[in-house]
Amino acid sequence: MYMDQATGQVQRFQGVVRSFNSERGWGFITCNGSDVMVHIRDCKPTDIEFYTGGQPNVGDVLTFELEPRKENPEHLQAKKVEGGTSERHCNIKGKGLGIPVQGNGEHHGVVKSFGTRGQGWITHMDGTEVFADLADCVGSRPVTGDKLQFDMEPCKSRPGFMQARGITGGTAPLSDDPSQKIVITSSTDKYHAARNENGHLPGC
């Protein structure tokens, strides 16, 4: 990493995303006229709790630290990257492949974020945020941007928030890849899957 000689602090740089392959999880940032590699694992999520957002998109202005690439020290790689504006690819896997169930919930909203852990937030039509859990989804799984229908009740695990129940309208299958061994257990009510060393699905 590069240090600021005046302050003794790790120096942060700014650059613009030139390219990013969301499926492979890497791309390049243009910084001071040079290409810098960026990998999704080095990008800070917008929502750290649910590990959503923060994926670089072409044209995004990012801030980051720099260090030589381990496999090719003559080239640089971005670390501790902030500023990505897209949803992480692992969180929208299966989008459009599900068959939404016709719901009869009293409320409507749009998915703000929904992670591989099976939890996230819905932005209600009145602008408030509503907690969502995969255990409350009917027939399909929501992904960022989906328009949902649901009922609500006070959230026991998050005082002050409402929780969506009987959620319908998700556009991804509840289990879109049997090889991931996705299960829902009554003891955790969470979405579990094969994960990488960071505790998240591959490429996330």
pTM, 2 dp: 0.74
Predicted local confidence at residue 175, as pLDDT: 77
Q: Euclidean distance between the first and final Cα of the chain, in Å?
A: 23
Per-residue pLDDT of the chain (204 residues; tens, 9 = 90+): 666 666 667 899 999 999 999 999 999 999 999 999 999 999 999 998 889 999 999 999 999 999 999 888 889 999 999 999 999 999 998 999 999 988 999 999 999 999 998 999 999 999 999 999 999 999 999 999 999 999 999 999 999 999 999 999 999 998 754 444 334 343 333 333 434 444 444 455
- pLDDT at position 193, please? 41
Q: Which pLDDT belongs to residue 3?
A: 63
Phi, psi of 125 (to 5 degrees): -60, -20
Q: Exposure of 126 by Cβ count < 10 A (0-12 exposed, 13-18 middle, 19+ buried)?
A: exposed
What pLDDT score was predicted for residue 96? 92
